[in-house]
Amino acid sequence: MKKPELVVTPHGLHEIEALIEAGADAFIIGEEKFGLRLAGHFKMDELRQAVELIKRHNKKVYVAINAIMPNGLLDDLKTYIEMLKELPIDALRFSDPGAYMIAKEVAPEMTLHWSSETLGTNYFTVNYWYDRGVVRTVLAPEMMKEPVIETKEHSKGEVEILIHGAICMFQSRRHLVGNYLKFQGQVVETVQSREEGLMLFDPERSLYYPVYEDEQGTHIFNGSDVCMIDDLADFIDAGIDSLRIDGVLKSSDYLINVTKAYRFAIDLCLNDREKYHQVGRALYKKLEEIQPTSRGLDRGFFYKPSIYKNK
């Protein structure tokens, strides 16, 4: 049985060795200017150091260029990819077809992952990109479990899914919060950062929805975190290639502890399925204990009928 990759999104260079010790197989890093909703912002000098460190430990490193790309960013993206192709990175993660075309022109030998997420909802779309040389696609987190497995069964290449972390509900390239506050006459010196962003409170459901702004605009997240630590068996049996833990809006300690827990769970599921099923719920409860008080854990959309549900 194939062992799935455990990929994480670190906050900075200082976390990488600890995450390797915790059991991470691969890392998603990048610069905020070109990467979407990264847990950490890696300027080029730090990115080079991170790549060197990750490869020294024989782990994989993927660089995100999955931002929404306006015309004014395209020349800078070309320059960025020119620098990246000199590094031993394992793949570029793109979303915009324009970024795909630039990557193929500037660095045709580089491996590509399609990381649109919201558009990866069926195996025809997945295979469209495989037929164009893309090695992996990241499926939409709104998909239910059964369609995820069906998509993998019919796909011609690798599939990645989110198994732990927050789901983005909305994004705009505009700084909607900052612009609104300015319209109200308030002085806004900086955008709402990840660390000091706002919370939208839903009194009916008692949920808090994090909001932050960066170079990519405004991001609004759901009110709880996906957690599938006790429900990995079907994904592993289906041959899902990569299981992602998203570190955005989380502390370093939290991300390291969650990575340790999933490393244990994946290995146990592969080596002793009966014991995995026995302790799975306890693993879930352990992660509940370290959750921020404003956020619970749930199954995301894996068991929740949505617009992507099979008819």
Other CB atoms within 10 Å distance of the CB of residue 155: 20
Q: What is the mean pLDDT of residues 261-266?
A: 98
Q: How confident is the model at residue 186 (pLDDT cuts 50, 70, 90)?
A: low
Residue with token string 């993998």: 152
Q: How confident is the model at residue 181 (pLDDT cuts 50, 70, 90)?
A: low
Q: What is the mean pLDDT of residues 150-167?
A: 97
At a CB cut-off of 8 Å and minimum separation 6, what does 176 contact? 213, 217, 218
Q: How confident is the model at residue 154 (pLDDT cuts 50, 70, 90)?
A: very high
Closest CA to 215 of 251, 246, 191: 191
Q: How confident is the model at residue 188 (pLDDT cuts 50, 70, 90)?
A: low
Closest CA to 100 of 153, 137, 58: 137
Angle formed by the axes of helices 273-289 and 252-271, to 10°?
170
- Domains by residue range for the chain, with CATH: 5-167+224-298 (3.20.20.70), 171-218 (no CATH)
Model pLDDT for residues 63-79, shown as the tens digit of each residue = 999 998 999 999 999 99
**The overall pTM is greater than 0.85:** yes
